[in-house]
Amino acid sequence: MTALIQTIDTADGPFTLLVDHDQRVLASGWTADRDAIIARLATSGWRAEIRPTEIRDGKTDAASAVRAYYDGDLTAIDTVAVRQSGTDLQRTGWEALRRITPGEPLTYTSFAAELGNPRAVRAAASICARNAPALFVPCHRVLRSDGSLGGFAWGLDVKESLLARERAA
């Protein structure tokens, strides 16, 4: 399957998107390193048929949503289709992440409760860690119980910037 890859500039640095032929985001993140984005496919549990030789440079529809998000339309990312593969719990978790309201982050404990088991904090954290289409599935909206940032694949400075942007709106 052929996929498109595109890097755009954002206030938080370069943002690269990998999308399939149906314009669904497979992986994305704050880097210009395309190999790092492609590597996120394995992290997400997705067993793609995509080989690096089938990835082409191109313009993605999702790039417009990223630009709109950075211009203040925080809901622009909500309608962008994503494609993820994982366990039932992971897919449920990724869907739940998309329902977190901008500016109203959850703790890992409350996110685990959303998944039906408030004691499954490690599972909740793992769902966030294996999320390949960053921003579109906003795992940055999950914090530690004490309100600290926790982890983020693209750096805590980016996570803090995203949360500050969403709080300000």
State phi, psi for 138 to the nearest 5 degrees. -75, 70
How many angstroms separate the CA atoms of 17 and 24, rounded? Answer: 10
How many angstroms separate the CA atoms of 138 and 36, rounded? Answer: 18
Name 145's bridge partners.
none
Q: Which of the residues 25, 27, 97, 139 is marked catalytic?
A: 139
Helix (H) or strand (E) holding 168: helix 156-168
> Who contacts 152 (Cβ-Cβ below 8 Å, separation ≥6)?
139, 140, 158, 159
Which amino acid, residue 135? L
With 0-12 CB in 10 A as exposed, 13-18 as middle and 19+ as buried, what is 15? buried
Asked if 139 is an active-site residue, the reply is yes
- Residues annotated as catalytic (active site), given as ranges: 139
